[in-house]
Structure formats: structure tokens, C-alpha cells
Amino acid sequence: MNDIVLSGLLNLFALFGALAGIDKERASRLIKAYLNQHFGIRRQETYLGLYNDLRDLYEMSPNLDKDKIVGSVCEGLRKKIEASEQSLLLLRFMEFSAINREGFLSHEDLFQNVGEHFSVNRELLGHFKAFVLQEETDRVLSCKPPHWDGSLHVIDLPESNIMAFTYRGKDTVMMNDVPVLQGTFQLWQQSGVMKGKKGDPLYYSNVKALFDKMGPDRTPIELAGREINFRFPRSENGMHNFSFTLHSGQLVAIMGGSGVGKSTLLGLLNGNIRPQEGQILLNGVSIQDPEVQKLIGFVPQDDLLIEELTVYKNLWYTARLCFDGMSPAELDKRVMDVLTDLGLAGAKDLKVGSPLNKTISGGQRKRLNIALELIREPAVLFLDEPTSGLSSSDSEKVINLLKEQTFRGRLIVVNIHQPSS
């Protein structure tokens, strides 16, 4: 980001800091953290000097036309910052000013001015206000995860397909293995997983579901087997009178050593192998039914990727075959939504290469293979050895990804020989 943009940002920070009466030392610490976190600027003396000079000017000149200054700076920024970033920038200014609640409330009209230039409507501005003042609305909520010595304040931003959160507490909390900064909002992408020292991981879908609870529910899924019998040729080995019932929202692991029949059981469950006796039903209908097969996804252990194509093109061609009548714009959106969901958007232009001549990591290859099935939005997803050959950290990411899919109402069944995964 060029110096002109940074100067504009510091200009507004200085104006709002002066008007709200923010303590200068605290303001300097926040500005330093902001420059470091968002722009990677570690040598900040020049920028802090500019901030302090501008703030002194505003404090010594109370009769300046504040609306005119805001309008001029915002128009300059609007031409250089993407629309999706503009609303977040306004939220950052509001958070900064809300350190002094009274000072913030006495100059709300200036934030409305910024909102008009950045195309942020009054309704969203109201949600922003609730978020920075730690209040709640239908798009802003507070939660205290079990066993955490701290709490989260979260705002849903469906226009950008993300959430923003602020953490306050004594525990060290990690987002995708990176420490979360306390008291300042950060973005929560769809692939993000938050962990405290104790308790279960907190997934994007966990919290998103709280915002969506008033929406229409998914149709519940029940996968049931009744008195299944299957024997290998010329052998009594196999399955005998096996019955089970699984439901949507579950992550089920089939575990065992090599050669014990894990893949055979997976083949029976997904319909690739027919049992000699008994039935396997999805919501009361045989899984052999062609319409039911459309609801089932299967990710084999081996790659299904085209080495010469990019990550994006591999998924795009799959989507093109599945959704023949979809427009190019709709197709692109669906592909990018899945890539973002699985944390692959940053690698979308990389060729996948071969397992021996790697361009993307093993974990990324596995997630892309999973994406080839998730693009169809199956109700039930089967995976054969999804962590095979992956490092412990990549295995954890894949399992976290699958766990998040269960929060969206899917039934996930994995064949696995690594209980530690």
C-alpha cells in the first residue's frame, strides 16, 4: 500500500483520536500494532510522527471543518481501496474511537459521513456501532466458549462472506496456530479454526450457525444398515448381521489395521459394493437408487487431479461437468466459495503438479481432492484414508476441515488407520 493511502489512513486516525480524546500513548500502541499487522511495517517512527503531528493540528484547531476533511480523505481512499476493504476500514476507525465511549458517541455523525463515502448503509453502521460498544444485535453476538477464560464478540458480515471477532480474556487463543491479538478485531475466514488452552476447537461454522439459526433447516439425513451380510469369495470372512444408524452432523471413523476390510466396508456404505444380504438405506431409500447416489460423495485415496491444470481449473472443470446450465459468473462464484472454504484461494493459480514433482503441498492436494466432491454439495461424504501420507499438522487440518463440514449438516465417514489423526 503506497504512502498516499497510509497518509490518508493516519489522517483519519488522528482526527478521530483527537475528537474522541483517546490517550496518546495508548493510541500510539494501537497504531503501531495496526501498521505491523496489516501492512508489515516494523519501522514505524515516520508514520507515528505523522500521526502525532496531525493529531496536534486537530487538537489546536477545533474550528476546522471536520466533515470537509473526512469527505476529502475518504474520496481519495475510495479510489485506491477495494469496496470490501472500505467497510472494514470504517469499522477499524469506529473501534479506535470507541476506546472512549463518550467521545465516540459525541461524534457519531462523522462516522455516518464516512459510511456515505464508503457505501456503508445506516443499518450496517448500526451493527458496527453495537460491535465496537460490545452490544448485541441480530448480526452481533457475544459468546464464552466452554473452559475459556475469556469471551468473543462477533459480527457477521454476509456481504463479504466472513465474520469479524474481538477476543478479550486471560487465555492465549490461537487462530490457525497464530496468536489472536486481544481487544482489536480480526477477520474470521471460513477455513479458520480457533483454539484455546482448554476445550474443543471453535470452528467458523459453530458461530455462523448461531447467526443462521432462524433460517431454514437442512433436511436431516439418516444412513442405516439392516442385517448386512457380506463374505469374501471362498471365505467366511467379511461382515455378519451388521446393523448401524448414522445421522447428519456426525463425523464417523472406520479404524483398523491394513487388510482388515476397512475399504470393503466403505465400499458397501457408499454403494460401490452390494451386500449379499440386507439393505443400506439413506432416509429410507436404497443407496443403489440413482437419485440417492447424487447425494453421496466419495473421495478415494488416490489423486483425481489433472497435473497440468491449476488448482482453480481442476475444480472449475469438475463444476462445469456437474452444473451444465450454470452461467460462467455463477460457476466462478461456486468454485471460489469452495476454494475459500477449504483455505485454497491463495493457491488457486498454482499448477497442482504430480506427487513427485510438487507445486502445492500434500495437504493442499488432499483438500483439493475433497473440494472436487464438495463442489456438488453432497449430503453424505465418504473418504478413503484422507490423512495417508500427510504430516501431523496437515492431517489435523484435514480432520478439522471435515469436522467443520459436519456443522453444516453433512454426514462424514472416513476410513483411517491413524487413530492419532
For the chain, the C-alpha Rg in angstroms (whole number) is: 26
Query: pLDDT band for position 213 (50/70/90)?
Result: low
pLDDT class for 214, splitting at 50, 70, 90?
very low
> What is the structure's pLDDT at 419?
59
Report the alpha-carbon angle 199-200-205, nearest 5: 140
Collect all residues with Cβ–Cβ distance below 8 Å to 114 and sequence separation of at least 6: 12, 70, 74, 90, 93, 120
- Quick one: pLDDT at residue 3? 75
As a whole-number percent, the residues of the chain with pLDDT over 70 amount to 97
Three state DSSP letters for 79-144: CCCCHHHHHHHHHHHHHHHCCCHHHHHCCHHHHHHHHHHCCCCHHHHHHHHHHHCCCCECCEEEEC
What's the rounded Cα separation, in Å, for the pair 105 and 112?
Answer: 12
Q: Which residue has the higher pLDDT, 135 or 210?
A: 135
Integer CA distances (angstroms), 232 to 66, 111, 342, 384, in order? 81, 72, 38, 20
pLDDT of 421 over the 50 cut: no
* Residue 114: predicted pLDDT: 92
* Lowest-confidence region among 95-109, 199-213, 252-266, 344-358: 199-213
pTM above 0.85?
Answer: no
**Better-scored residue on pLDDT, 73 or 249:** 73
For every residue of 139-174, DSSP letters joined together read TEEEE--TT-SEEEEEEEETTTTEEEEEEEESS--E
pLDDT in tens, 115-173: 999 888 889 999 999 999 999 998 999 988 888 888 999 999 877 778 999 999 988 89
Statement: residue 215 has pLDDT above 50: no
- The whole-number average pLDDT for the span 220-247 is 89
Residue 217 has pLDDT above 60, yes or no: no
Give residue 79's pLDDT.
82
What is the mean pLDDT of the segment spanning 375-396?
A: 87
* Residues 285-297 pLDDT 10s: 999 999 999 999 9
Average pLDDT, the chain: 87
Residue 57 has a pLDDT of: 92
Question: Which string of DSSP letters, residue by residue, matches 226-285?
Answer: EEEEEE-TTSS-EEEEEEEEEETT-EEEEE--TTSSHHHHHHHHHTSS--SEEEEEETTE
- Percent residues over pLDDT 90 in the chain: 40
